[in-house]
Amino acid sequence: MVKISIIGSGGISRHHVESLKRIGDAQVISTCDVDNQRAAELAASCGAVACTDWRAGIKEADLVYILTPPSFHKDIAIEAMEEGKHVMIEKPIAIAEEDAEQIVEASHRLGRKAMVGFNMRHRTAYGKLKAVLDSGRLGDVLNYWSQRMGMGSQGGTWRTNRQQMSGFTIESLSHDIDIFRWLSGSEVECVYGNVANSRLDLPGYDDNTLAVLKLRNGQAAFIQASWSSYLEFNSRGIAGRDGTVMISGPGTWNFDRLTYRTKNMEEEYTETFADPLDGQSYYVENLHFVDCVLHDRKPQMTAEDGLAVLRVSRAILQSHRDNRMVTL
């Protein structure tokens, strides 16, 4: 049995707790938050103890879930690992690159597992996309794309809190960058990016991003994303020499269609399915990490992955500031 402490009782914690309740080898023993009422409500949903002192809350835990705003991730993660705990850190791993580097270093030095919450890898639609890629139907891959347009957080959360916000490129687009690295099996070599801000009340808050990424394997990737678009749509795709595949759907996050077409119209296929942004990907993610802790296995999404993604996000922002391509 893996005993788990949850630090941070905001919206994302509900997905994690509900999925952990479905895992027989997992037990949430404590929920911690600066807001005792929120911690108590979350604790009541899973039979745990609520507290405002996270250091007290993790004492009996084997695994600590760090679901706070990212500005707090580094200190909690390192201290928890120093106390002998494994850690699951929601993305992004941190805001500052040096903070992420310290988390990676502590994980190695202390021999603790640190997984970053890139749950999108476990969504049905991305699994279907990768299956077509792995089948070889597309031939040599030329490029990847991600379009995600819609309305994001308009206020009232840490995402738009001046002291805690990291911006759209670091916080939300970490998913898209991770997916590119996962699909391609390659790191990013250089980036060119442009960001914009639709919020006059939040100077410096990027909520629109365009970026071109050149990968070390010679492939390329393109991101177009907005948290202020009045039209909502999303698509992800891969273009190859012999075929093209795309997943798409209504709204900003939902997928309901996969389409691919191969060279000379030799094969054309469309599949409809339901893949809303619900708790299933969190369940698969958490089942995987609990298994890693129980059987001493390396998680699929490591702190190193979190650091690599953060470096790309920060390079996009630097490219915008300097108006030039940035090499990682």
CATH architecture of 120-277+310-327: 2-Layer Sandwich (3.30)
In the chain, the percentage of residues whose pLDDT exceeds 90 is 89
Element holding 308 (H helix, E strand):
helix 303-322
Distance CA 16, CA 126 (A): 20
Q: Is residue 284 very low, low, confident or very high in pLDDT (cuts 50, 70, 90)?
A: very high
Residue with tokens 């895992």: 23
Count of CB atoms situated within 10 Å of the CB of 281: 23
The two beta strands, 26-32 and 49-51, are parallel
Structure tokens at 317: 């922002």
pLDDT reported for residue 164: 62
User: Who has greater pLDDT, 119 or 156?
Assistant: 119
Fold of 2-119+281-300: Rossmann fold (3.40.50)
pLDDT reported for residue 271: 96
Kindly provide the residue ranges of all beta strands, DSSP E only, lying in 152-242, ordered along the sequence.
Answer: 188-196, 208-215, 220-226, 228-240
Element holding 55 (H helix, E strand):
helix 54-57
Sheet strands side by side (includes 243-250): 268-275, 255-262, 243-250, 228-240, 141-151, 220-226, 208-215, 188-196, 326-327
The dihedral sign for the CA sequence 91, 169, 325, 180: positive
Distance CA 253, CA 227 (A): 12
Residue 155 has pLDDT above 60, yes or no: no
**Could you give the C-alpha distances from 99 to 7, 74, 304, in angstroms and in order?**
18, 6, 12
Residue 304 has pLDDT above 70, yes or no: yes
pLDDT reported for residue 213: 99
The candidate with the shortest Cα–Cα distance to 32, out of 1, 62, 68, 60, is 68
Condensed to tens digits (0 to 9), the pLDDT of residues 103-116 reads: 999 999 999 999 99
Domain ranges for the chain, please list them.
2-119+281-300, 120-277+310-327
Q: Is residue 166 very low, low, confident or very high in pLDDT (cuts 50, 70, 90)?
A: confident
Distance CA 135, CA 233 (A): 27
Q: Is residue 153 very low, low, confident or very high in pLDDT (cuts 50, 70, 90)?
A: low
pLDDT reported for residue 156: 57
Condensed to tens digits (0 to 9), the pLDDT of residues 175-196 reads: 999 999 999 999 999 999 999 9
